Amino acid sequence: MGYSQRRPQETEATNVTRCRAIVRQHLPSMAALLAAMILISTNCLADPLVVEEHVTLPVTIDGRAEHLEALIVRPATGGRFPIALIVNGASRHPRSMHADDLANLAHDFAHRGWLAASIVWRGYGHSSGVVQDEAGTCTRPDVARYLDARADDLAAALASLRTRPDVDNTTVLGVGTSVGGVSMLDLAARPDRPLTAVINLSGGLYHDARPFAPNPACGPFETALVRQVSAFGAAAVPTLWIYARNDPWFRPELVERMLQGYRAGGGKADFAMLPPFRKDGHTLYRWEASDLTQPRIDGFLAANHLPAMEDSAVFTPLLAVLNARGREDVQRYLRASTEKALAISANDHGVYWAVNTRSLAKAREKALAHCRTSSGRQCHVIAENRNLLATWRDAYQQQGPR
């Protein structure tokens, strides 16, 4: 499933018109425009396959009018798209976190065929309101209060997104990292069952801990977390949990307690404990982790009949003529984050790529520059995202005998 990379290209004027129309439609008032500083992203022009919008979502939370910073990335073709609601974790410096921080996830889900919305909590980034961080103490925890407040933000953001004319309200995927992961589980368990499925990346909540050194006195807090996550299992929606063994905040034994409790409460959870990822396994949301996470995410989506990346069979002819190193490099390229491009050089057997660029034009430029610098030869782009260009054979034949 997912959306083809070979759509008719739209003009820049068409993309600009659409971006402006969507912004106008969701402005509650001119006052909100001034307060929220809604921006039309220049990236609306950058790629004919997906469109970026920097917006603020007008929401109502606890009876108060607020606005939440958001980055929306969606297919450039017309129509209605299922919603992928994406959110990050917590930070000691809330105003430094922005919707762009998860642009890699938003772009990847847009290329799968979703309207992907990376949203920012109250009090974070350019969002209005006060940070919701009351969770009690180590010995007198109030985990439910904290997670419920975060889920309130998510519910409000989703309600705002559902007013858009380009969304399909029948399917909503929640994607959260760290605090965002367990907050999505909270949202999924609400009586109105607002989520179709959840992807939980390194989800959890900690109190008074240092990296890789949990506070032994916080045992009651961890127990409260496990109890709360267990209660979320009643939602019985499909979920995918992905953690790394060297997560400095959520060690494998705590993750196992949460998982067992969630399943015991009726929860459906596919689970992957990844090997140690670099120096900090809590960073699985970054594009550098895509090589590990993408296959599991797409397997989960496909198994639940949700839009996933297109099959890579189109690359089979290329893989058949490459040597072992080249085949491995192309497979890694396919698992990397969009926007991306793949290049080869004349009389050179290497393949070169640029990934996670936010712009297909920039990906082409960087892939070619990398190829020329590394090989010292003329280079050609042979793939854009997951589209193998028709000219790849001509470029490959210029590489000469092997």
Tell me the per-residue pLDDT of 140-182, one tens digit each, with 9 for 90 and over: 999 999 999 999 999 999 999 999 999 999 999 999 999 999 9
Residue 4 has pLDDT above 50, yes or no: no
Q: Provide mean pLDDT across the span 21-27.
A: 40
Averaged pLDDT score across all residues of the chain = 88
Rounded distance, CA 254 to CA 312, Å? 36
The CB-side HSE value for 41 (13 A sphere, CA atoms) comes to 22
Beta strands 379-384 and 341-345 are: antiparallel
Q: What is the CA radius of gyration of the chain?
A: 22
Rounded distance, CA 84 to CA 271, Å? 20
Q: Provide mean pLDDT across the span 117-136.
A: 97
| Top-confidence residue, 255 or 208 | 255
Task: Say how far residue 388 (Cα) sits from the centre of its chain.
Answer: 24
Rounded distance, CA 222 to CA 219, Å? 5
Q: Provide mean pLDDT across the span 6-17.
A: 34
The pLDDT value given to residue 399: 65
| Top-confidence residue, 349 or 103 | 103
Q: Provide mean pLDDT across the span 241-257.
A: 97
**Model confidence band, residue 37 (pLDDT cutoffs 50, 70, 90):** very low
Minimum mean pLDDT range among 23-27, 118-122, 343-347: 23-27
Its pTM stands at: 0.87
Give the chain as a 3 state SS string. Answer: CCCCCCCCCCCHHHHHHHHHHHHHHCCCCHHHHHHHCCECCHHHHCCCCEEEEEEEEEEEECCEEEEEEEEEEEECCCCCEEEEEEECCCCCCHHHCCHHHHHHHHHHHHHHCCEEEEECCCCCCCCCCCCCCCCECCCCECHHHHHHHHHHHHHHHHHHHCCCCCEEEEEEEEEEECHHHHHHHHHHCCCCCCCCEEEEECCCCCCCCECCECCHHHHHHHHHHHHHHHHHHHHCCEEEEEEECCCCCCCHHHHHHHHHHHHHCCCEEEEEEECCCCCCHHHCCCHHHHHHHHHHHHHHHHHCCCCCCCCHHHHHHHHHHCCHHHHHHHHHHHHCCCCCEEEEECCCCCEEEECCCCCHHHHHHHHHHHHHHHHCCCEEEEEECCEECCCHHHHHHCCCCC
Q: Which two tokens stand for residue 402?
A: 């092997």
- Asked whether 135 and 205 are in contact (CB, 8 A), the reply is yes
Q: How many other β-carbons are positioned within 10 Å of the β-carbon of residue 165?
A: 8
Q: Provide mean pLDDT across the span 98-102.
A: 98
Q: Provide mean pLDDT across the span 322-342.
A: 95
Rounded distance, CA 263 to CA 219, Å? 21
The pLDDT value given to residue 306: 98
Q: Provide mean pLDDT across the span 57-85.
A: 97
The pLDDT value given to residue 146: 98
The pLDDT value given to residue 208: 84
The pLDDT value given to residue 22: 40
Question: Residue for token digits 């599991």?
Answer: 296
Minimum mean pLDDT range among 1-15, 118-132, 254-268: 1-15
- In degrees and rounded to multiples of 5, residue 269 shows phi and psi of -140, 115
Question: Residue for token digits 């969701």?
Answer: 26
Beta bridge partners of 246: none
Give the model confidence (pLDDT) of 204-231 as tens digits: 999 988 888 889 999 999 999 999 999 9
Beta strands 115-119 and 81-87 are: parallel
Rounded distance, CA 102 to CA 286, Å? 8
The pLDDT value given to residue 40: 34
**Model confidence band, residue 400 (pLDDT cutoffs 50, 70, 90):** low
The pLDDT value given to residue 31: 38
Q: Which two tokens stand for residue 136?
A: 């009690």
The pLDDT value given to residue 351: 93
- Asked whether 55 and 38 are in contact (CB, 8 A), the reply is yes
